[in-house]
A = this chain, B = another copy of it.
Amino acid sequence: MEPIKSFAELTKHLTNCGRTRVAVANAVDDHSLEAVVLAIKNGFAEAYLVGDKAVIEKYEFIHDPKAASYIHIINIPDVQDATVEAVRMVRNNEADVLMKGLVNTDVIIRAILDKEKGLLPPGNVLSFTATFEVPGYHKLIFLADPAVIPSPTLEQRRAIINYTIATARKFGVEKPKVALIHATEKPNPKIQYMSDYVQIVEEAKEGKFGNVTIDGPMDIFLALDKERGAIKKVPTPVLGDADILIFPNFESANAFYKALIAFAGAEMGGKLEGTTKPVVLTSRSDSIQSKFNSLALACITAHE
């Protein structure tokens, strides 16, 4: 498979892969519904809209004949109940992907984390991978974790890295280049995560992360900017060509992420990691395009 290098290529790829069944928890907001209808029209989704039927049916665009036959409404007006039902459908294989509609994040997270009825196997690390298309960069960037774990332990870092690698592979990246991000390329033994980095680079050399290149610490220039990175004269196989960025903490991943969205014209999609099935957990400030990208990301992950 040729690597997928943009969201447009991802959509095109998905069009030939059949429809993924998406259960939307409290599917009553226009943003989520528009993204779902767009995915249906692009031929890669079939939707189970759980929520207040009367509210859902008021949206004109869901009655579009090109979409209507792939939309099934499950009438549960209560937010909490609708969320639990959407999770149950995914857990019971009645749907392949869970998507958040108009639900507070804590409510859907609680349903996902439920030990009896949720989607997180015991011992799994919950994390978040963002996929970015940035004008000026030659391919997609996968990064973690901007949202869930403030300051990961070594074990959590390993899990986060494995999640991003698995996602990159779904995009056809055969040997992903992983950059362990820091403010500079100089190791600072006083900083807690530095020993994690040393350990992870070592384990990567032993093949414990599969067919990948992992290097660091390095800064954003070394990871993504060949010209500015080269001035540092640091020998690294990643130089200006990283596929994956692993950030030391969620503040740095989050600040980087939002800088690209606000000022660099970047497109993104996000995915919760660690669950048995893909979960689309978009936030209020995401655009319809970004919700659509996240859905596409979940659908490609759901395959095989």
Check A136 for interface membership: any CB of B closer than 8 A.
yes
Residue A59, interface by CB 8 Å: no
Q: Given A150-B191, A232-B285, check contact A251 B259 (CB 8 Å).
A: no
Q: Do A263 and B135 contact each other (CB < 8 Å), given the known contacts A150-B188, A232-B284?
A: yes
Are the CB atoms of B255 and A285 closer together than 8 Å? no
Q: Count residues on chain A whose CB falls below 8 Å from chain B CBs.
A: 43
Contact status of A231 and B284, CB under 8 A, knowing A183-B250, A262-B220, A266-B263: yes
Bound-state CA distance A262–B186 (Å) is 20
Given known A-B contacts A190-B150, A232-B285, A136 and B248 have beta carbons under 8 A apart: no
> Once bound together, how far apart are the Cα atoms of A147 and B134, in whole Å?
25
Contact of A61 with B by CB under 8 A: no
Whether, in the assembled complex, A264 has its beta carbon less than 8 Å from a beta carbon of chain B, the answer is yes
Q: Does A301 contact B (CB under 8 A)?
A: no
Instruction: Give every chain B residue within 8 A of A228 (Cβ-Cβ).
Output: 261-262, 285
Question: Apart from A220-B254, A220-B255, A249-B252, what 12 extra A-B contacts exist at CB < 8 Å?
Answer: A136-B263, A181-B251, A181-B255, A219-B254, A220-B259, A221-B261, A247-B251, A247-B255, A251-B252, A253-B255, A260-B263, A264-B264
